[in-house]
Amino acid sequence: MESAISVTGLIKRYGGKAVLDGVDLQVARGSVCALLGPNGAAKTTAVRILTTLTRPDGGRVEVAGIDVVRRPREVRRRIGLIGQQPAVDDVLGARQNLVLFARLHHLGRRAAGIRADDLLEQVGLADTGTTPVRQFSGGMRRRLDIAAGLVLAPEVLFLDEPTIGLDPAGRRDVWEAIRALVASGTTVLLTTQYLEEAEQLADDVCVLDGGRVVARGTPRELTAAIGGDRLELVVTDPARAREAALLAEQVAAPGPVADAVGSGERVVVPLARRRGVVGDVVRALDEAGIAVDDVVLRPTTLDEAYLKITGADDARTEVPA
């Protein structure tokens, strides 16, 4: 599939230290790629290079098929960038803001008005009228920011921490706006600290740490790489928890761990997803006379995969690129 973003061997140094040290990244057109990593992982530096705001010290970077070093002006005509800080005017209404941005991009008065109306409809703000932006909720303001970044209908949109500081409702508003953009063909690269956000939006996830890509894949591929699902059982009689764990281990997979919970006992059994395993475990416990109060099959989360990949002990989980 043709790439909207192509990065090969990207290097960026500050004070002799490589903050990006041979980064490779491919983002398919019409997809969402989430760039993850701990604070200081140079995610924002990577975005600044991709958007022509910072020059790399090595490697090759193309956005929308254009070299960002050799032809930066052409790249800028094809991209949109939404930073962490709001770019809209609090005094103006949503439509006035978008008309202003359109005029700054040299659209005529009539074309600016038409574009503003289209964008307001696209991000769900068409009914805001002349209400000043200062009266908007956080989610509404962020959606307007996204609309401002779409004035020139960019092929590729960069979102740096798009929902930082928003409440859950505001985050959902922004997610809906991003999904609508991708459905219309826009490619999105976003940096985020919210693992749920990456799971909800991203087709592909790239984890940066120590200046390198340490993991790459779909959210499901990353979670599968660090282990399978878990079967959690709460047995009625705490005295039989160990017995239940051993029996579940025999039926499902090695490595059960028991933790006391409430009046019962929680048994956690790692297992590989396979048809019928939950029923097999429950039947085995029933035949042994071990009563179970609760049974839950829990998939490994992206949060757990991320913590494993970027753990404080510097352990690394290798994930095929």
Q: Average of pLDDT values for 62-76?
A: 95
Between strands 17-28 and 156-160, the pairing is unpaired
- The residues, any chain, with a CB within 8 Å of residue 245's CB and separated by 6 or more, are 256, 257, 258, 267, 269
Residue 57 in this model has a pLDDT that exceeds 50: yes
Alpha-carbon distance 273 to 231, whole Å? 10
pLDDT attached to residue 225 = 65
Q: Please tell me which residue, 2 or 188, carries the higher pLDDT value.
A: 188
Residue 263 in this model has a pLDDT that exceeds 90: no
- Strand blocks (E) in 170-263: 187-191, 204-209, 212-217, 229-235, 257-261
Q: Average of pLDDT values for 134-151?
A: 88
Q: Average of pLDDT values for 19-45?
A: 91
Alpha-carbon distance 286 to 266, whole Å? 16
DSSP 267: E
Residue 306 in this model has a pLDDT that exceeds 60: yes
For every residue of 227-246, DSSP letters joined together read --EEEEEEES-GGGHHHHHH
Q: Please tell me which residue, 305 or 16, carries the higher pLDDT value.
A: 16
Q: How much of the chain, in percent, has pLDDT values that exceed 70?
A: 88
Confidence of residue 59 (pLDDT cuts 50, 70, 90): very high
Give the residues across from 160 on adjacent strands.
191
Between strands 66-67 and 257-261, the pairing is unpaired
User: Could you tell me the two tokens for 130?
Assistant: 């002349």
CA pseudo-torsion sign 231, 233, 238, 244 = negative
HSE at residue 204, side-chain half, CA atoms within 13 A, is: 21
Residue 239 in this model has a pLDDT that exceeds 90: no
Q: What is the pTM of this model?
A: 0.73
pLDDT attached to residue 258 = 53
Residue 321 in this model has a pLDDT that exceeds 60: no
Of 282, 288, 279, 287, which Cα lies nearest the Cα of 267?
Answer: 282
Question: Of all helices (H) and strands (E), which one includes residue 108?
Answer: none
Residue 295 in this model has a pLDDT that exceeds 90: no
pLDDT attached to residue 205 = 92
Query: What are the CB-based long-range contacts (under 8 Å, 24+) for 252-257?
Result: 252/277, 252/280, 252/281, 253/228
**Domains along the chain?**
3-224 (3.40.50.300), 228-299 (3.30.70.260)
